[in-house]
Amino acid sequence: MSDGEFFIRKTFETDVQKGCELLFQRYYKPMCSHAVRFVYSKDIAEDIVAEIFCNFWDNESYQTVHSSFGAYLFGSVRNRCFNYLQKEQNKTLSLDAIGENDPVHSILPEKIMQYEELYQQVNTLVTSLSPQCQKVFIMNRFEGKAGKEIAAELSLSTRTVEAHIAKALSILRNGLRHYWTEILLLAQSGILMKEFENILTSL
């Protein structure tokens, strides 16, 4: 759990409203960026994310999330986007015009399922890293921080930071060796979120 997540979780213990505000400030924009990769509409993406936060508050979901808030919220984005695309397909695709076996009928759900599988594999590999290696890798690839900046924040040498990044990339490269075709197809389709694509294209 990152320091930011830990602080937010502690805030929920004393002030639920403030905790939700901190979650919104931290994750709203990244969640919208993630959602727009699926639905290709800024307005629809924002509506989906807003609905997720409303339900999070109304259903008091913060009481049942025991892992990362970020993982929960981004998982909710993917699920909501998938449901939205399914509903839109049901509205616009007529079985009289397009048979159920037509590739057009299943291309979006198929891509999302491929993305979900790939995302879970990357997440599994990243969480398998040692705590220090994982922290360095996330700061570098997800937060876009340079090696010197990470070294200063964590009181490490630049060489140690570089070694952690190299080790993480090696583990991901080996763990994703059977996914290269899916990675290329998803990257070409534009469905990969920016931070996720940055990881994969650096392997």
Q: How confident is the model at residue 170 (pLDDT cuts 50, 70, 90)?
A: very high
Radius of gyration of the chain, Cα coordinates, nearest whole angstrom:
19
Tell me: pLDDT of 23 over 60.
yes
Distances in Å between the Cα of 38 and the Cα atoms of 1, 29, 176 are 27, 15, 22
**What are the sequence ranges of the domains in the chain?**
1-82, 93-203
The more confident residue out of 12 and 145 is: 12
CATH 1.20.1050.10 assigned to 93-203: no
DSSP string, 52-121: HHHHHHHTTGGGT--S-HHHHHHHHHHHHHHHHHHHHHHHH--TTTS-TT-HHHHHHHHHHHHHHHHHHH
Q: Between 170 and 109, where is the model more confident?
A: 170
By residue count, the chain amounts to 203
What are the pLDDT digits (tens) for 50-90?
999 999 999 998 888 877 888 889 889 988 988 887 777 66
Q: Is the pTM of this model over 0.85?
A: no
Residue 197: pLDDT above 50? yes
For 20, the 3-state DSSP assignment is: helix
Please report the pLDDT score of residue 185 as a whole number: 64
Cβ contact 105:92 at 8 Å = no
Structure-token match 């924040």, residue found: 153
How far is C-alpha 169 from the chain's CA centre? 18
pLDDT at position 193:
52
Mean pLDDT across the chain, nearest whole number? Answer: 79
Q: What is the pLDDT of residue 98?
A: 46
Overall fold of domain 1-82: Rna Polymerase Sigma Factor; Chain: A (1.10.1740)
Give the model's pLDDT for residue 177.
82
**Of 20-34, 80-94, 174-188, which one has max mean pLDDT?**
20-34
